[in-house]
A and B are shown apart, each in its own frame.
Chain A
Amino acid sequence: MKKRLLILVAALGLALGGGVAQAAETVKIGLMAPLTGSWASEGQGMKNIVALLAEQQNAKGGALGKPIEVITEDDGGDPRTASLAAQRLTTKGVVAVVGTYGSSVTEASQAIYDEAKIPQIANGSTAIRLTEKGFKHFFRTAPRDDEQGRMAAQTIGKLGFKKVAILHDSTSYAKGLADEANALLKKQGVDVVFFDALTPKESDYTAILTKLKGANPDVVLFTGYYPEAGQLLRQKKGMNWKTPFIGGDATNNADLVKIAGKEAAEGFYFLSPPQPQDLDTPEAKAFLTDYQKKYNELPPSIWAVLAGDGFRVAVAGIAGAKSTDGDKVADYLHTRLKNYSGLSGPISFDAKGDREGDVYRVYKVDAEGKFVLQKL
């Protein structure tokens, strides 16, 4: 009797298991994004864009004839949370993952996806190291910091600044960019008069600003993120200090002006891939119209758009490889995806998974708080 019961239970279990497998006739693509924490506005934008693209793709037939299901996990902008999020996504059977924004956050999840043979396409992570580790399943639609460092040094040269102060925030992204720019600037013969880090998430940076002012630079290069950049600009104005600031691409967020206030933000330069509204491919224009129709606003930043490109590349990879097998998709993306027309311009990946081509531009904040593309 006991044995029979056991068999019955086992059979029931199998039947249920089979039922679950059959119901799962979707292609699951994971999205790992900072939906909470300091970078929540980036994460919300990433989620909105990927949701809209998935909707559009499903209307066109999905992937491999099956509808696409986006599974979103919050990484909280924090490496520890990210590794948990990555583990959850791998157990949920996703075939590719889009994300995430911060470099140190992505770094915590890379090995988990690579081991599970799931292609990961990061959208905001620009630290050089990420693609130097030989992970076969890692790609990024974002450019690398050394390219940004080169652009920073070049821009500072072109604007004619001779004495530069460099400030970072000790995150792997900001420190990497600061080091790169520091080396290149010294090579150009520019005097780097200050190099140090602030503590992110504080509100009072006047002690640092006073020290920076004492070093008497022509320009300050801040390589950290927009919440701190906004505070620095606001408090710099309170000190009546006029020296211009240049930011890295992590300062490219509309909240920067909200935090600093328009007056304080005016004249701030930053380097970035083009703004969503400055994207000029017909596809991007059509997509932005759709996005505005659905959400009544523009995407918060280019990084969210790059997450959209990550999603499209993942779909293209699955279609091109005619399989959801991680190895095959990764091979296809490495070798056969050439000049795919992404929202942010043509996309090809090199052997390391880095995006090929030049994407950086220089922007300046005007009196209205708008980001204006500069021609240098």
Chain B
Amino acid sequence: MEEFIQQLTNGLAVGGIYALIALGYTMVYGVLKLINFAHGDLFTYGAYLGLTLLTSLALTDRLGFTLGMVVLVLMVMGLVAVLGAILERAAYRPLRESPRLSAVVSALGASIFLQNALMLIYGARFQVYPDNILPTATLNIFGLYLPLMRVLIVLASVLMMIVLYVFIQKTRIGTAIRAAAIDQGAARLMGIDVNRVILMVFLLGPALGGIAGLMVGLYYGQVNFTMGWVYGMKAFTAAILGGIGNIPGAMVGGLLLGVIEALGAAYLSIAWKDAIAFCVLILILIIRPTGLLGERVADKI
């Protein structure tokens, strides 16, 4: 039982990261029906930008830990969001009226470009975050060892998901995003600036992906320029698992995928962990082709 709960928390921490990245995939898909393959690389940029800002500005030394972290998080979110907007402008907007396949190829090209640019800037070696930044305290709850940071990661991801959900449901721009997701043409006729909505989506998704990258960098300490691929793949899977285009679906899908992986590794086989996760995905898609929460088409995004 103790091991089960431990594995459950392991899975939730990884799943929280998957969910944050999956949100970027699912929002873009909801509005544009486009799978943004470069999203995983924006996640990697978050991790690298965080490292550079942290080491070159020494934020935590100058502003103290809490304030320094807040500033760091905001800077990374802002920069990656800008990067996402540039990506939309350069790689997707010129292809808005082209067949969907062209945009997908453009996404793959953007992914390769971003990844290699990162390699040329930082080099191919592993980059390592300074190891004395985060508190290394470990909570001991009834014999369960939970590193404090893991708990914070899960809390932070859940918090961000809730903020996003409220933003989409309750604000004017959120309503506009939902409207554009249902029918772009009709939304335009109602006076919604669809280009602005798409820009908004390309600011929000990358900002969350960038935060996920920063959290992975801070917690696991090592980053490399190809890390976005594995995470991107898993997050994309999570988005489909929950029903792509659906925001709560991406959250549930991410957390679920993390937990399936952890429990699969624990009770079946570590080496088959990924195979187990993908088998579950296939099973769910056979039973519910639209994903877990994918049926509420009217409520998309």
Q: Which residues of A contact B (CB under 8 A)?
A: 35-38, 40-41, 44, 170, 196-199, 201-204, 206-208, 210-211, 214, 227, 230-231, 234-235, 237-241, 255, 258-259, 261-262
Task: Please determine whether B126 and A204 come into contact, CB atoms closer than 8 angstroms.
Answer: no
| Chain A residue at smallest Cβ distance from B137 | A238
A225 CB, nearest partner CB in chain B, Å? 11
**Given A208-B265, A208-B270: A202 and B10 interface contact (C-beta under 8 Å):** no
**Given A210-B266, A234-B221, A259-B126: A204 and B13 interface contact (C-beta under 8 Å):** yes
A151 to B226, CA, bound (A): 35
Task: Please determine whether A207 and B269 come into contact, CB atoms closer than 8 angstroms.
Answer: no
The count of residues in chain B whose C-beta lies closer than 8 Å to any C-beta of chain A is 38
26 residue pairs bridging A and B, Cβ less than 8 Å apart:
A36-B124, A38-B224, A170-B271, A196-B270, A201-B230, A203-B220, A204-B14, A206-B10, A207-B261, A207-B262, A207-B265, A208-B270, A210-B266, A211-B7, A211-B265, A227-B222, A231-B220, A234-B220, A234-B221, A238-B136, A238-B147, A239-B138, A240-B138, A241-B145, A258-B126, A259-B221
**B1-17, CB < 8 A from A:** 3, 6-7, 10-11, 13-14
With beta carbons under 8 angstroms apart, the residue of B136, B145, B220, B270 that contacts A211 is B270
Task: Please determine whether A197 and B220 come into contact, CB atoms closer than 8 angstroms.
Answer: no
| Chain A residue at smallest Cβ distance from B145 | A240
A231 contacts which chain B residues (CB < 8 A)?
Answer: 220, 222
B11 contacts which chain A residues (CB < 8 A)?
Answer: 207
A222 CB, nearest partner CB in chain B, Å? 13
A204 to B15, CA, bound (A): 11
B138 contacts which chain A residues (CB < 8 A)?
Answer: 238-240
**Given A210-B6, A240-B138: A204 and B220 interface contact (C-beta under 8 Å):** yes
A216 CB, nearest partner CB in chain B, Å? 11
| Chain B residue at smallest Cβ distance from A241 | B145
Task: Please determine whether B3 and A36 come into contact, CB atoms closer than 8 angstroms.
Answer: no
Task: Please determine whether A197 and B271 come into contact, CB atoms closer than 8 angstroms.
Answer: yes
One digit per residue, 1 when the CB lies within 8 angstroms of any chain A CB and 0 when it does not, for chain B 115-141 equals: 000010001111010010000101010
**Given A207-B262, A255-B126: A36 and B119 interface contact (C-beta under 8 Å):** yes
**Given A196-B270, A202-B230, A259-B222: A227 and B10 interface contact (C-beta under 8 Å):** no
**Given A204-B10, A204-B220: A239 and B270 interface contact (C-beta under 8 Å):** no
Q: Which residues of B contact A (CB under 8 A)?
A: 3, 6-7, 10-11, 13-14, 119, 123-126, 128, 131, 136, 138, 140, 145, 147, 149-150, 216, 220-222, 224, 226-227, 230, 261-262, 265-266, 269-271, 273-274
A198 to B261, CA, bound (A): 12
A202 to B224, CA, bound (A): 11
Task: Please determine whether B124 and A37 come into contact, CB atoms closer than 8 angstroms.
Answer: yes
| Chain A residue at smallest Cβ distance from B127 | A258
B136 contacts which chain A residues (CB < 8 A)?
Answer: 237-238
A212 CB, nearest partner CB in chain B, Å? 9
A35 to B13, CA, bound (A): 33
A230 to B227, CA, bound (A): 16
A227 contacts which chain B residues (CB < 8 A)?
Answer: 126, 222
A202 to B226, CA, bound (A): 11
A231 to B222, CA, bound (A): 8
A201 to B222, CA, bound (A): 11
Task: Please determine whether B216 and A203 come into contact, CB atoms closer than 8 angstroms.
Answer: yes
With beta carbons under 8 angstroms apart, the residue of B3, B227, B274 that contacts A203 is B227
B124 contacts which chain A residues (CB < 8 A)?
Answer: 35-37, 40
A44 to B222, CA, bound (A): 19
A201 to B220, CA, bound (A): 12
B226 contacts which chain A residues (CB < 8 A)?
Answer: 201
Q: Which of A214, A231, A238, A259 has most B Cβ within 10 Å?
A: A238
| Chain A residue at smallest Cβ distance from B261 | A207
B23 CB, nearest partner CB in chain A, Å? 19
B131 contacts which chain A residues (CB < 8 A)?
Answer: 261-262
A208 contacts which chain B residues (CB < 8 A)?
Answer: 265, 270
Task: Please determine whether B270 and A198 come into contact, CB atoms closer than 8 angstroms.
Answer: yes
Task: Please determine whether A239 and B145 come into contact, CB atoms closer than 8 angstroms.
Answer: yes
A288 to B131, CA, bound (A): 30
A198 contacts which chain B residues (CB < 8 A)?
Answer: 270-271
B281 CB, nearest partner CB in chain A, Å? 17
Q: Which of A40, A196, A206, A214 has most B Cβ within 10 Å?
A: A206
A197 to B138, CA, bound (A): 27
| Chain B residue at smallest Cβ distance from A206 | B10
A38 contacts which chain B residues (CB < 8 A)?
Answer: 126, 224
A8 to B262, CA, bound (A): 72
A35 to B123, CA, bound (A): 10
A112 to B6, CA, bound (A): 49
